[in-house]
Each structure stands twice: as C-alpha cells, then as structure tokens.
C-alpha cells in the first residue's frame, strides 16, 4: 500500500462524509439549535424565508469543470493542484497534480463504481462504492452536492422546490438550521445557513454517543448553478488520528463539454479494496 493511495482515499472521504460516521469523533463542533425551546414567531418566519432563499439558490446544471487546490494535514501532510470534473448525477472525476501540473493520479466515481488510479506506483483500485459507504445510499449526485455546498435529502436528491416539504428550518442565531423531516436510523444530519440563505456547513451527529463532525463551506458565490461554495474544510479522526482537509476552487466552468473518460493502463497492479481500508487504522 502506498502513501498516495492513502491520501487520495482521504480526499475521497470528503465526498463520503455520511458513509463512515461510525469511525469519527468530535473534532469540529456542529451547528446545533441553541436558542430558546420555543422560537418566537418572527424568528420562525425568518427561518422559513431563509429556507426559501436556500431552495431558490439551487440552480440546475449539467456539467462542471474546475481547477483548484487541495491540502491535507494530520498524519502525513500533502498538497496538490486538482482538476475536478462532474457530469450531474453520473460522474465525479478528480485529477491530482502535485508537481508542475503533471497528473499523479485520479479518483473516479461513476454510477455505483469507484476507481483510483495511482500513476506514481502504477497501481489501481476498482471497487463498488458500497465498499466505503457502509450501507448509506450515497449517490453520485449526493457526493457532488457535498463538494459544492449544496443541500440534499438522502434517498431523494438535491434540495429543490419539489422537495421543500421534506425538510424543516429552525432558527439558529441570525440564520437557521435545515434538517430532513425523516432522519436516518444511525445518525442525524443538518445544514447550517446564514441570514442570506447561504449554506455554511453540513453537520452530522451519531444517534448513539456524542460523536459529531462537520464539513464547513466558505467563499459562497452565486453562479449559473446557484449558490456554490468555492472553499470547504473537513476534519475527522481515523484510527485515533486527526486529519484535516481543505479544498478550494480557482474557477468553475458550467455546462460545457467535459472529458470524464478513462481506462486502466496496461501493466498496472490492482489493489484490494478491503486491504486499502485497513490503511485508515494504521
């Protein structure tokens, strides 16, 4: 097993936040309602307006292509430029280019399959996404929303006008907390939003114990696809070690032709996915 595979799969963990919550401890305080037990009517009305603003700012899109930077700290530090390509609800494609723009590896999620191609050691991983989702129905679309700071409802898709009734908004400071009416059995998740209806974080808390963590969003900009976070931060603990990841986008192009094609190069060695997962306990 190589350092490269470990780091690329850690970056993938950002997109699979909800899939592995059993391995995490509290490293980032999630946004939880802390106001009065019964919010005032004016605060409740404001929360509903903010929810409406969030829904109104989730525009439609078909493809994305972006350049950016990724940095990982904790255990082994790593930084790289990245290229991110997406086909809505179909493909999530990440190219890591740590030196002079030369590609060192790729992470591809397509349908229910996960591929990691390590060009440095001529290795590859090809598995079902279910290997790392622990039974959570994590679709490609949901992972894309996580990377962009867009709210979603597990099992349904991106939050939009037709899914408005599936969530509730509770006042939280000057903003609100948006949560699904029906939560998963093993964990609860919500989105913290500011007074302008911008999503600031995805917050997760296990139903058993006090384990919790967040994915925090910043530099939210209005784009052709609605409000999109151009920077995100993620922190977690794996095997008792803290890891932190930062990802930022320099530029995003929407609804253009994108190349997400790939093939496994001849002569590459396949890595067993289950053995790869043991890296996170080392």
Q: Say which range, 76-90, 180-194, 198-212, has the weakest mean pLDDT.
A: 198-212
Q: Could you tell me what percent of the chain has a pLDDT over 70?
A: 76
- Report pTM: 0.83
* Mean pLDDT of all residues in 265-273: 88
The C-alpha atoms of residue 96 and residue 84 are separated, in whole angstroms, by 9
The 10s digit of each residue's pLDDT in 8-56 is 555 555 445 544 444 444 444 444 444 445 677 888 999 999 999 999 9
Residue 198 has a pLDDT of 95
Q: Is the pLDDT of residue 253 over 90?
A: yes
What pLDDT, on a 0 to 100 scale, did the predictor assign at position 29? 42
Mean pLDDT throughout 234-255? 81
Q: Kindly report, residue by residue over 98-119, the tens digit of the pLDDT.
A: 877 788 888 899 988 888 888 8
Quote the CATH superfamily of domain 3-281.
Lipoprotein localisation LolA/LolB/LppX (2.50.20.10)
Sort residue 177 into left (φ over 0), alpha (ψ -120 to 50) or beta. Answer: beta
pLDDT at residue 34, as a whole number: 46
Note the pLDDT tens digit of each residue in 196-218. Answer: 999 999 988 877 766 567 889 99
The predicted pLDDT at position 242 comes to: 72
pLDDT tens string 58-70:
889 999 999 999 8
Domain ranges for the chain: 3-281
The pLDDT tens digits for 135-174 are 566 788 988 998 999 999 988 999 999 999 999 999 999 9
Look at residue 31 in the predicted model and tell me its pLDDT: 45
Hey, CA dihedral for 165, 170, 171, 173, is it positive or negative? negative
The pLDDT of residue 105 = 87
Q: What is the mean pLDDT of residues 244-272?
A: 91
Nearby residues of 115 by Cβ (< 8 Å), 6 or more positions away: 106, 107, 108, 109, 124, 125, 126, 262, 264
């Amino acid at each position: 097993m190589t350092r490269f595979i470990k780091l690329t799969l850690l970056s993938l963990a950002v997109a699979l936040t909800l899939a592995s919550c059993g391995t995490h401890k509290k490293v980032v305080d999630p946004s939880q309602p802390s106001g009065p037990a019964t919010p005032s009517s004016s605060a409740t009305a404001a929360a509903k307006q903010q929810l409406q603003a969030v829904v109104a700012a989730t525009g439609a899109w078909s493809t994305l292509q972006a350049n950016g930077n990724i940095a990982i700290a904790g255990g082994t530090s790593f930084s790289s430029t990245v290229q991110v390509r997406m086909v809505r609800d179909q493909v999530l494609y990440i190219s890591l280019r740590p030196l002079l723009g030369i590609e060192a590896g790729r992470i591809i999620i397509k349908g229910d399959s996960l591929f990691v191609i390590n060009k440095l050691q001529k290795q590859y991983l090809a598995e079902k996404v279910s290997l790392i989702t622990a039974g959570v129905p994590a679709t490609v679309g949901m992972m894309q929303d996580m990377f962009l700071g867009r709210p979603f409802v597990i099992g349904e898709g991106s939050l939009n006008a037709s899914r408005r009734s599936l969530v509730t908004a509770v006042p939280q400071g000057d903003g609100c907390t948006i949560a699904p009416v029906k939560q998963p059995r093993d964990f609860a998740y919500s989105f913290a939003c500011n007074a302008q209806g911008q999503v600031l974080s995805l917050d997760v808390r296990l139903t058993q114990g006090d384990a919790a963590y967040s994915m925090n969003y910043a530099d939210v900009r209005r784009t052709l696809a609605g409000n999109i976070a151009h920077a995100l931060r993620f922190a977690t603990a794996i095997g008792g070690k803290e890891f932190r990841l930062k990802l930022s986008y320099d530029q995003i192009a929407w609804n253009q032709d994108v190349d997400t094609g790939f093939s496994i190069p001849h002569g590459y060695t396949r890595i067993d996915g289950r053995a790869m997962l043991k890296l996170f306990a080392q």
